Amino acid sequence: MFVVGLTGGIGSGKSTVADLFAAHGVPIVDTDVIAHRVTAPHGIAMPQIVAEFGNAFVAADGSLDRARMRALVFSDDAARKRLENITHPLIRAETEREQREAKGPYVIVVVPLLVESGNWKNRVNRVLAVDCSVETQISRVMSRNGFSREQVLAIIARQASREARLAAADDVIVNDNTPLATLAARVDAQHLAYLGLAAP
């Protein structure tokens, strides 16, 4: 199956673009959804997380206590690594399973940190970046999440730069002050290109 990795900074419009591809019948595998699921109640990462970090990081419903874990890994890189050593292989395996089971002309995998997490690029046929200015990211995330400007800037600072992302991309969809109808037309064109690449 031909695999497109869809990426972009926070608030760039990844979900919006993914929905537009889905409207064409393209199956979407969302690594954020999978990441959440592995640490949900009875999530497949939970037994290992308990073994590694103890019950203190488990919420009453059996899911990961996200606030507590966030507080730990925020200041402790070694703990972040221990957590990722558990979750990343499981997320990867689940992503590959969903890709294999997907039915459609090609599959889109949404990977917010595709450019940051090295080996992802080798696991997709094309990298598609959704691009907008940092100012646009800030205003969208402030209104979507109710975050302050500083909070959004802190998240952006931990992500790849716009330049690095564009350099890693095979294809770019611009989504900056873009009316939704225009964005949909850009997705239509990209979809046609991918149909050609997936079944030459």
Q: Which is nearest to 12 in space by CA: 113, 109, 107?
A: 113
Binding of ligand ADP at residue 5 (CB under 6 A)?
no
How far apart are CB 139 and ligand ADP at their closest, in Å? Answer: 9
- Indicate which single residue of 4, 30, 140, 190 sits in contact with ligand ADP (rule: CB under 6 A): 140
139 binds ligand ADP (CB under 6 A): no
If one asks whether residue 7 binds ligand ADP (CB under 6 A), the answer comes out as: no
Judged by beta carbon, residue 18 or residue 91, the one nearer ligand ADP is 18
Sheet with strand 171-174: strands edge to edge: 28-30, 107-110, 3-7, 126-131, 171-174
Q: How many helices (H) and strands (E) does the chain have?
A: 9, 5
Residues 6+ apart with CB under 8 A from 21: 6, 28, 108, 187, 191
- Report if residue 11 touches ligand ADP, rule: CB under 6 A: yes
Shortest separation between residue 10's beta carbon and ligand ADP, angstroms: 5
Binding site for ligand ADP (CB under 6 A): 8, 10-16, 140, 144, 175, 178, 180, 183
